[in-house]
């Protein structure tokens, strides 16, 4: 099924408003480039006919993904997705991470850079004005001079406008990148937090199992003292206790590593004093959110929107490269004044008005190669966009299927635990009566205790899949909260 079809064409808008395809546009550019072989007078005569027609790109035509997701819920999606989890500790951790995580703060700084670059690029659409005053002293004679100069490059082929638009699209892509980074960060905080809770639960469970194992060891040693069992029964039970101690050591090491990881996500050093993460319990899974339609996901997911803006920036880059193959016209004007004193400096001005027409004659194919490069870059951006959309839909479907199957696995583990608990009780009773071998008791204990640990991990894994679903469905909010005004247009950016 063709999920997405994006058609990107770079067009030259002529004075008769006729739009042409990439191939015919290239032919048109080659025809106009041949004008360089004629005299400058002919070219100057043609310029008024061309006017200031912009060189624009055809807006991308996007076909929305069809179909619907395999499962959906009824709970509404919220912008701060973690608020759907009944966990006050998680809410506090997320707020801290969003305010202090250094990687997120660096992404915010890069957004500020992109915004400044957009304003800088937009400034080229306006005239430049410079003023200066100088003083020269020769053998006691002072001479003052003042100047006022203005220059303006006419955007004949739309290259300057395209450059401003490219910078604007890059800035918009940076906004979406910030939102994507924020969503990733909040998901990592939630995952790490529940992994930490799981490890705390594993340690508690292992201690409880150790207590049960030691009670069993006392029973076996008592029977051994009475000559009712062999020494191998005692040794095997002691080995079970030692293996549980090894599991405890691994769990404590993993707990410490997760605490360090969570500290780093919160922008804190793991060696800083006073850092303590309260132990908690794994929460019950909230209601399944309303996944909506695939077409809606494409519209609000930040990484998809980022890929779209990068595609639009690549389209604008094509227009920049094509415009660079045409002549440029710069108008300039200057006023100068020279006097022996400051009082007479502004009484007599000399004005100069000039126009400069520059056009490529021979560059060894450099500009043609740049057009080819930007076309290839636009095709790559197109495929990247398509890949991002497919990945987004895949992530939602994967999370939905995995959660559904994990629920079935948990139900099976619950039934297995009930059965193994009964097996442990019966084999232990038969062992005390001397009608069962100790290996049956040992095997039942190991199976039951392993299932207890697996059940705890499976509950945390179910939460991980729900976090992955929220991460896949989440829309952006952080960049909007940092802005005090609406997204400016290209001209508005230039005037900032």
pLDDT tens per residue, range 410-462: 999 999 999 999 999 999 999 888 888 888 999 999 999 999 999 999 999 99
Which residue matches tokens 């395999």? 70
Angle at 64 between CA 63 and CA 65, to 5 degrees: 115
Which residues of 34-161 form beta strands (DSSP E)?
Answer: 61-62, 128-138, 141-154
342 pLDDT band, cuts 50/70/90, is low
79 pLDDT band, cuts 50/70/90, is confident
Q: Give me the pLDDT at residue 93, please.
A: 94
Q: Give me the pLDDT at residue 132, please.
A: 82
Phi, psi of 61 (to 5 degrees): -100, 115
How far is it, in rounded angstroms, from Cα 488 to Cα 121? 14
Q: Tell me what percent of the residues of the chain surpass a pLDDT of 90.
A: 56
488 pLDDT band, cuts 50/70/90, is very low
Other C-beta atoms lying within 10 Å of the C-beta of residue 118: 25
493 pLDDT band, cuts 50/70/90, is very low
Phi, psi of 342 (to 5 degrees): -65, -30
Phi, psi of 272 (to 5 degrees): -65, 140
Q: Give me the pLDDT at residue 18, please.
A: 32
pTM (2 decimals)?
A: 0.80
Is the pLDDT confidence value at 340 over 70? no
How far is it, in rounded angstroms, from Cα 14 to Cα 12? 6
10 pLDDT band, cuts 50/70/90, is very low
Nearest CA among 100, 81, 110, 106 for reference residue 173 = 110
**Cβ(98)–Cβ(104) below 8 Å:** yes
Q: Give me the pLDDT at residue 28, please.
A: 39
Helices (H) and strands (E) in the chain, counts: 12, 6
- Of 123-127, 286-290, 321-325, the one with minimum mean pLDDT is 123-127
CATH topology of domain 66-126+156-325+365-494: Outer membrane efflux proteins (OEP) (1.20.1600)
Other C-beta atoms lying within 10 Å of the C-beta of residue 82: 20
Phi, psi of 230 (to 5 degrees): -90, 165
Q: Give me the pLDDT at residue 37, please.
A: 40
pLDDT tens per residue, range 283-297: 999 999 999 988 888
* Mean pLDDT, rounded, for 112-132: 89
More confident residue, 88 or 349: 88
- Helix ranges (H only) for 35-87 are 40-50
Q: Give me the pLDDT at residue 334, please.
A: 86
More confident residue, 34 or 83: 83
Per-chain mean pLDDT for the chain: 83
* Mean pLDDT, rounded, for 8-36: 36
Give the strand pairing for 141-154 and 328-339: antiparallel
Other C-beta atoms lying within 10 Å of the C-beta of residue 104: 21
Is the pLDDT confidence value at 144 over 60? yes
How far is it, in rounded angstroms, from Cα 190 to Cα 82? 8
Phi, psi of 359 (to 5 degrees): -145, 150
Q: Give me the pLDDT at residue 104, please.
A: 95
Q: Give me the pLDDT at residue 140, please.
A: 66
* Mean pLDDT, rounded, for 39-64: 44
Most confident of 55-59, 121-125, 471-475: 471-475
Q: Give me the pLDDT at residue 13, please.
A: 27
Is the pLDDT confidence value at 468 over 90? yes
* Mean pLDDT, rounded, for 361-369: 91
DSSP annotation of 270 reads T
pLDDT tens per residue, range 207-264: 999 999 999 999 899 989 988 888 999 999 999 999 999 999 999 999 999 999 999 9
Q: Per-domain residue ranges for the chain?
A: 66-126+156-325+365-494
């Amino acid at each position: 099924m063709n999920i997405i079809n994006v058609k990107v064409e770079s067009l030259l808008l002529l004075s008769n408003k006729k739009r042409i395809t990439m191939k015919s546009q290239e032919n048109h550019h080659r025809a106009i480039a041949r004008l360089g072989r004629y005299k400058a007078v002919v070219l100057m005569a043609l310029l008024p006919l061309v006017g200031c027609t912009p060189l624009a790109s055809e807006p991308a035509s996007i076909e929305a993904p069809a179909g619907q997701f395999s499962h959906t819920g009824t709970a509404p999606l919220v912008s701060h997705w973690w608020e759907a989890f009944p966990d006050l500790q998680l809410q506090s951790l997320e707020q801290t991470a969003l305010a202090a995580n250094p990687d997120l703060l660096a992404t915010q700084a890069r957004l500020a850079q992109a915004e400044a670059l957009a304003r800088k690029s937009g400034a080229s659409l306006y005239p430049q004005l410079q003023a200066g005053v100088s003083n020269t002293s020769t053998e006691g004679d002072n001479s003052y001079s003042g100047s006022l100069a203005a220059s303006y490059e006419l955007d004949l082929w739309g290259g300057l406008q395209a450059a401003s638009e490219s910078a604007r699209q890059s800035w918009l892509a940076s906004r979406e990148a910030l939102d994507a980074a924020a969503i990733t960060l909040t998901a990592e905080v939630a995952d790490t937090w529940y992994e930490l809770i799981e490890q705390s639960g594993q340690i508690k469970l292992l201690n409880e199992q150790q207590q049960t194992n030691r009670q069993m060891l006392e029973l076996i040693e008592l029977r051994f003292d009475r000559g009712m069992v062999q020494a191998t029964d005692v040794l095997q039970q002691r080995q079970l206790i030692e293996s549980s101690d090894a599991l405890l050591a691994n769990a404590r090491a993993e707990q410490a590593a997760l605490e360090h990881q969570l500290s780093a996500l919160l922008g804190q050093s793991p060696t800083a004093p006073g850092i303590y993460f309260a132990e908690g319990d794994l929460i019950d899974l909230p209601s399944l959110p309303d996944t909506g339609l695939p077409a809606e996901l494409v519209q609000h997911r930040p990484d998809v929107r980022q890929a779209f803006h990068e595609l639009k920036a690549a389209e604008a880059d094509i227009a920049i490269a094509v415009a660079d193959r045409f002549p440029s016209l710069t108008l300039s004007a200057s006023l100068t004044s020279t006097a022996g004193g400051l009082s007479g400096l502004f009484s007599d001005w000399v004005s100069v008005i000039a126009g400069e027409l520059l056009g490529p004659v021979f560059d060894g194919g450099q500009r043609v190669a740049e057009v080819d490069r930007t076309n290839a870059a636009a095709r790559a951006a197109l495929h990247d966009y398509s890949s991002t959309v497919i990945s987004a839909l895949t992530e939602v479907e994967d999370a939905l299927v995995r959660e559904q199957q994990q629920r079935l696995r948990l139900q099976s583990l619950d039934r297995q635990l009930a059965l193994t608990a009964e097996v442990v009780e019966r084999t232990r009773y038969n062992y005390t009566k001397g009608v069962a071998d100790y290996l049956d008791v040992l095997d039942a204990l190991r199976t039951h205790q392993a299932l207890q640990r697996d059940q705890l991990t499976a509950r945390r894994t179910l939460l991980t899949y729900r976090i992955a679903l929220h991460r896949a469905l989440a829309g952006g909010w952080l960049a909007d909260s940092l802005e005090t005004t609406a997204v400016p247009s290209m001209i508005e950016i230039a005037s900032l």
